[in-house]
Structure 1
Amino acid sequence: MADRLAELAGHLRQDARIAGSHLLLTVLGGSIYLPPTVRKLIYRRAGAPVESPPGFGFRFAGRPANLRVGPDVYFNQRVFIEAVGPVVIGSGCAFGMEVMVVTSHHELGTDGRWSIEATGRGVTIGDRVWVGARAMILPGAVVEDDVVIAAGAVVTGRCRSGGVYAGVPARRIRELVPAQAPPRA
């Protein structure tokens, strides 16, 4: 009986921690009623080294220290980031409505059973990446610099620089033309 009570108390502590994190990082950190500088400050005080504020309706799960966001990043409404593993977002990126970035992974055994314990697989998103509405970036994905992810795409691996990726799973469908230097006068 004592073991069961100790287990229950442990679950209650964990639930309280998750609820407090949700209140701070999702309810307040994604509130439309707080200015961007305050939303950014909430994340920084929680341990997330962010240089850009989350957008309205931003949802977060995981460890704040696992989230790193560069300057000039735009998050549209209801973006969800789960940072069980590290999530690194470069500078000058834009995330469309309801984009999901997920890092939790459940190992699959040879017997077909999946592990109940989640492990984190980091996600890296380079500079100047545009992620379309409702795209999903899954555990272990790497999106290099200067990439466009189409709306609704599911990124499972590496998206190499200078391309447009679309589909499920996301595949390179087009090359991006590098920006030309302005002509010299």
Structure 2
Amino acid sequence: MATPAVPVPVPVPSTFSRRLREDVAHAREHVLLTALLGSPFLPRVVRRLLLNAAGAHAESAPGVGFSLTGDPRNLSVARGVYFNRATTIEAIAPVSIGANAAIGMQVLIMTSHHAIDADGRWSDTATGRPVVIEDRVWIGGRATILPGAHIEHDVVVAAGAVVTGRLLAHGVYAGVPAKRIRDLAGADPATDRRATA
């Protein structure tokens, strides 16, 4: 007569070991994706090559002080993009930057957030939402682009603005949250006024 199989307990990693692994991954990430990619001692072409070697698809080079966290494979940068100093991109989810965009000094592009339950407790696990920045977008210094934002082509985002949703083409957006304050040439008043930030 066969004896019943006893289930083997699966070890659950302790919070300490999980956080230690996270810290080691962040340190490795910092050396490659921040210290090297943002180095003022490396020419732009070398920074672009390093970014591609890390797994990104980059046709343009990051600027001095550039910082990338998350998975480099989630980052796509088209040709003609200009990054000013100290741009920070968090690529937990895909980030796509279109051709001839200009990213101002200390712009922050985020893709992750922590869900909050009905009791007000936030989840320990980050979830990602993609960010899309289309062609010919100019983002002013210290603007913040939040998870799920989609900035259509030919848009200007004012310095310090916080983008939380979709910005429709041919407009200037400012404020917290960013609101359309002016049309640019080529705007279609029938459709472009429906923009939400």
TM-score, length-normalised on structure 1?
0.91
1:118 matched to 2:126: yes
What SS does structure 1 have at the residue aligned with 2:160?
A: coil
In terms of Rg, which structure is larger?
2
Structure 1 distance, partners of 2:81, 2:171, is: 19
**Counterpart in the other structure of 2:117:** 109
1:129 matched to 2:137: yes
Change (3 A) 1:139 1:6: closer
1:42 matched to 2:63: no
What SS does structure 2 have at the residue aligned with 1:11?
A: helix
**Counterpart in the other structure of 1:99:** 107
* Structure 2 letter corresponding to 1:30: G
**Counterpart in the other structure of 2:8:** none
* Structure 2 letter corresponding to 1:121: R
Deviations 1:131-154 (A, max 9, x none): 000000000000000000000000
What SS does structure 2 have at the residue aligned with 1:71?
A: coil
Segments of structure 2 that go 5 or more residues without pairing to the other structure are 1-10, 188-197
Size of the alignment, in residue pairs? Answer: 177
Change (3 A) 1:10 1:116: closer
Structure 2 distance, partners of 1:9, 1:79, is: 31
Aligned-residue identity in percent: 55
Match of 2:83 among 65, 70, 75: 75
**Counterpart in the other structure of 2:92:** 84
Matches within 5 A, 1:134-149: 134-149=142-157
Segments of structure 1 that go 5 or more residues without pairing to the other structure are 180-185
Match of 2:39 among 31, 35, 49: 31
TM-score, length-normalised on structure 2?
0.85
Q: Kindly state the Cα deviation for residue 4 of structure 1 after the two structures are TM-superposed.
A: 8.9
Structure 1 distance, partners of 2:66, 2:16, is: 31
Change (3 A) 1:5 1:157: closer
* Structure 1 letter corresponding to 2:124: I
* Structure 1 letter corresponding to 2:107: V
* Structure 2 letter corresponding to 1:144: E
Q: CA RMSD in A?
A: 1.7
Match of 2:64 among 56, 62, 75: 56
Match of 1:151 among 134, 142, 159: 159
